[in-house]
Amino acid sequence: MLRFKVVEEAFDRKAIPVETPSERPEQYYAKYVFNDQKMFQYLPKKTYDALVGAIANKQPISREVADSVAEGMKRWAIENGARHYTHWFHPLTDGTAEKHDAFIEHDGKGGVLEAFSGKLLVQQEPDASSFPNGGIRNTFEARGYSAWDISSPAFIIGETLCIPTVFISYTGESLDYKTPLLRALNSVDRAATSVAQLFDPEVKHVHSYLGWEQEYFLVDEALYSARPDLVMTGRTLMGHESAKNQQLEDHYFGAIPSRVEAFMLDLEIECHKLGIPAKTRHNEVAPNQFELAPIFEETNLANDHNLLLMSVMNEVARRHNFRVLLHEKPFAGVNGSGKHNNWSLGTDKGVLLFAPGKTLRDNLQFITFVVNVMAAVHRHNALLKASIMSATNAHRLGANEAPPAIISIFTGSQLASVLDLLEKSSKEQLADLSSKEAVSVGVAQIPELLIDNTDRNRTSPFAFTGNRFEFRAVGSSANCASAMIALNAVVADQLAIFHRIVSERTAAGETLEEVLLDELRKLIVESKAIHFDGNGYSDEWKAEAARRGLDCETSAPKIFDAYLSKQSEEMFARTGVFTRVELEARNEVKWEMYTKKVQIEARVLGDLAINHIIPVATRYQSILVDNVVKLKSLFSGSKGDEIVAHDLDTIERISRHMCVIKAETYKMIDARKAANAIASEREKAIAYHDTVLPCLETIRYHIDKLELMVDNEMWPLPKYRELLFIR
């Protein structure tokens, strides 16, 4: 009866009132962020000017400036209740890390005083060997460094001042996501600025922008705690789908349940105080699935805010007796959760480079950047797939509206027609297009055709959506930086190559417009294979994608190989994003994390199968057997056989399912032991994928069949119909 008490407790929950601030959001927005306004207020003007200038020009600051910033930052933090400070960084765990230190130093008189120096602000030395590092750091080589990222503002969580930092090893290799992300953003800034200056010489910088859409599930905390698989792995390793799930399409954009709305309001208030521009909230397609989306921000800051959100939403959910599920596929048979990365580039003059303009030059610039992105994605489609792949996201891709594990680009019919026009024109015709009159029939029509007039394709992993590209394949639990590092790096590399070719040809006497149109045509033809506007779920597309030469690998451990290809290594070296040592280390981490996640799932499922499901099924089977014996004693002959036939059939089917569950569980244990003996992290991960993972699916199938047969009151775990519907 424990399950029913838990379910009753969950369904009796009432919405917890949220104390809404009396002020409007603009009055408390960024209250706990040391942003430009706070810097101007708490820093001397000379320090403020130096820091703002360093941020704008991506330059280091002096020790003198660091000391002055530290003093002002400390004063602001203490006035807002902070007692500790921490360097907040992003290790290779998809989460964040922090070590808290108090604002105290000896005063030399037996007491303490509150102090914070530029040295403490700028650099700390966390243990580098205790985080995933791919062999770069051994236990006896523990030293690593965290260094202040001046471009991302400090903030206060609770009573702690959090300072965003990079995390590198003692020997200089990056051990985090932020370091290579900043490198990739610097690279795309340089390359894109060079190309943008072909159209406007006054452009000084190009910024990368990101607008993530965070999907998530909410589950009542009591039900969550009664599901060991959710607690240990973040997803249900068993569970037959509910009679009603999402098939009526009544949850998407439906009325938000009162308990959930109270949680959302509380979360929004916390987000706004931390400077996270949370704007959109709604029900998603699956029951208990929701989405939060912010206003676009510079990519580095947006990524910091997403990681901060994932931490905050867990804390807020606990206050409302919820648990947040960020796993990409916590429930079988319904939509999984993604984190769509809406990505764009814009100049320091406010021009979005993926948005059509009103002049020939603007439209030629628009086409130039879009076509170069397509060329970059085509050339590095395997790497981009590797950047979003994980043990958890592998469950989501290609299922229930999630994009397939093949990277392609959706352009929409309007942009496709423009690309088709350029592709099919001869060199002479392309030269003619550079005249204003000719272009007015084709390229100059782009503004009217494209703005807010692009269809959506939910099966496309990388879609053009009017003035940006939407990388839909990113997983809900992922660090956005993984995808953004790869995407910005490959685009930077492609733009640099494009700029070099254009510069060489124009230096030889050809006109800029003629060269641009000629080179764009070549790129359109070369990257045509990546363009696909159809149904990404169809078997026909999988076969066609293979014929086109796109990467169609589905094994996550093998997909990671793309990072170590000669093409990827050379690209990362040219852009300065990763060294070979860093790439090898990160892949070691990826393979190790994949193995560990599947290993944990196998252990949890084995325990649940043998210690929870089999005993319950056996008890229920014994009840049926006892009932058959009693009925046979009452009714003899053919009548008795007829009466007990159904029970006998059920007993036999239960036995068959239990036999398979036991056999597959022991087979899974043996496969795990064999895989664990493999020294190579790559080969071990492949073994877990090929030999352990299939056992999980087989065991689940037979447990789910038992769930439909065993007495509902005896079943030990909350079912989907209870987990998926908040009341």
- The pLDDT tens digits for 709-719 are 999 999 999 99
More confident site: 9 or 460 = 460
Q: What SS3 class is residue 145? A: strand
Q: How far, in Å, CA of 586 to CA of 174, rounded?
A: 10
| Residue 481 DSSP code | H
Q: How far, in Å, CA of 130 to CA of 142, rounded?
A: 8
Task: Tell me the mean pLDDT in the region 9-15.
Answer: 73
Q: Which two tokens stand for residue 223?
A: 């039900």
Cβ–Cβ under 8 Å, residues 250 and 284: no
Backbone angles phi, psi at 702, to 5 degrees: -75, -30
C-alpha distances in angstroms, 118 versus 68, 409, 572, 589? 7, 47, 33, 33
Q: Which residues contact 59 (CB under 8 A, 6 or more apart)?
A: 53
Q: How confident is the model at residue 142 (pLDDT cuts 50, 70, 90)?
A: low
Q: How far, in Å, CA of 105 to CA of 115, rounded?
A: 6
Per-residue pLDDT for 436 more than 50?
A: no
Task: Pick the closest to residue 328 from 247, 390, 410 (CA basis).
Answer: 390
> Measured at the alpha carbon of residue 569, what is the angle toward residues 142 and 681, in degrees to the nearest 5?
50
Backbone angles phi, psi at 14, to 5 degrees: -115, 155
Backbone angles phi, psi at 624, to 5 degrees: -65, -40
Q: How far, in Å, CA of 595 to CA of 397, rounded?
A: 19
Task: Pick the closest to residue 570 from 443, 316, 436, 383 (CA basis).
Answer: 383
C-alpha distances in angstroms, 376 versus 332, 346, 443? 34, 18, 22
Task: Pick the closest to residue 341 from 541, 479, 142 (CA basis).
Answer: 479
Q: What is the b/e burial string over 238-268, where b = at least 16 CB atoms within 10 angstroms of the residue's CB?
A: bbbbbeebbeeeebeeeebbebbebbbbbbb
What is the model's pLDDT at position 445? 36
More confident site: 171 or 204 = 204
648: number of Cβ within 10 Å: 14
Owner of token pair 């860093």:
582
Per-residue pLDDT for 1 more than 80?
A: no
In three state form, how does the secondary structure of 40-103 look?
Answer: HHHCCHHHHHHHHHHHHHCCCCCHHHHHHHHHHHHHHHHHCCCCEEEEEECECCCCCECCEEEC
What is the model's pLDDT at position 400? 64
Q: Which two tokens stand for residue 616?
A: 């319950």
What is the model's pLDDT at position 455? 54
Per-residue pLDDT for 449 more than 50?
A: no
Q: How confident is the model at residue 140 (pLDDT cuts 50, 70, 90)?
A: low
- Widest CA span of the chain, in angstroms? 105
Q: How confident is the model at residue 15 (pLDDT cuts 50, 70, 90)?
A: confident
What is the model's pLDDT at position 443? 43
What is the model's pLDDT at position 44? 96
Q: Which residues contact 247 (CB under 8 A, 6 or more apart)?
A: none
**What is the C-alpha end-to-end distance of the chain, expressed in Å?**
21
Tell me what the pLDDT averaged over the chain comes to. 90
* pLDDT tens sequence across 669-679: 999 999 999 99
Q: How far, in Å, CA of 421 to CA of 415, rounded?
A: 10
Indicate the pTM of the whole model.
0.93
Cβ–Cβ under 8 Å, residues 523 and 371: yes
Task: Tell me the mean pLDDT in the region 8-33.
Answer: 83
90: number of Cβ within 10 Å: 24
| Strand 206-220 to 278-283 pairing | unpaired
* pLDDT tens sequence across 297-346: 999 999 999 999 999 999 999 999 999 999 999 999 999 999 999 999 99
What is the model's pLDDT at position 337? 96
Owner of token pair 């499922």:
605
| Strand 409-410 to 462-464 pairing | parallel
Task: Pick the closest to residue 720 from 89, 93, 243 (CA basis).
Answer: 243
* pLDDT tens sequence across 640-696: 778 888 889 999 999 999 999 999 999 999 999 999 999 999 999 999 999 999 999
More confident site: 134 or 306 = 306
Task: Pick the closest to residue 374 from 152, 529, 602 (CA basis).
Answer: 529
Q: How confident is the model at residue 591 (pLDDT cuts 50, 70, 90)?
A: very high
Chain Cα centroid distance, residue 115: 38
In three state form, how does the secondary structure of 626-682 look?
Answer: HHHHHHHHHCCHHHHHHHHHHHHHHHHHHHHHHHHHHHHHHHHHHHHHHHHCCCCHH
Cβ–Cβ under 8 Å, residues 338 and 475: yes
In three state form, how does the secondary structure of 253-322 look?
Answer: CCCCCHHHHHHHHHHHHHHHHCCCCEEEEEECCCCCEEEEEECCEEHHHHHHHHHHHHHHHHHHHHHCCE
Q: How confident is the model at residue 170 (pLDDT cuts 50, 70, 90)?
A: confident
What is the model's pLDDT at position 198? 97
> Worst-scoring range by mean pLDDT, 27-36, 131-140, 388-397, 429-438?
429-438
C-alpha distances in angstroms, 720 versus 128, 270, 533, 620, 643? 42, 31, 35, 21, 33
DSSP β-bridge partners for residue 124: 146
Q: How confident is the model at residue 141 (pLDDT cuts 50, 70, 90)?
A: low
* pLDDT tens sequence across 699-710: 999 999 999 999
Q: How far, in Å, CA of 416 to CA of 411, rounded?
A: 6
Owner of token pair 């530290």:
70
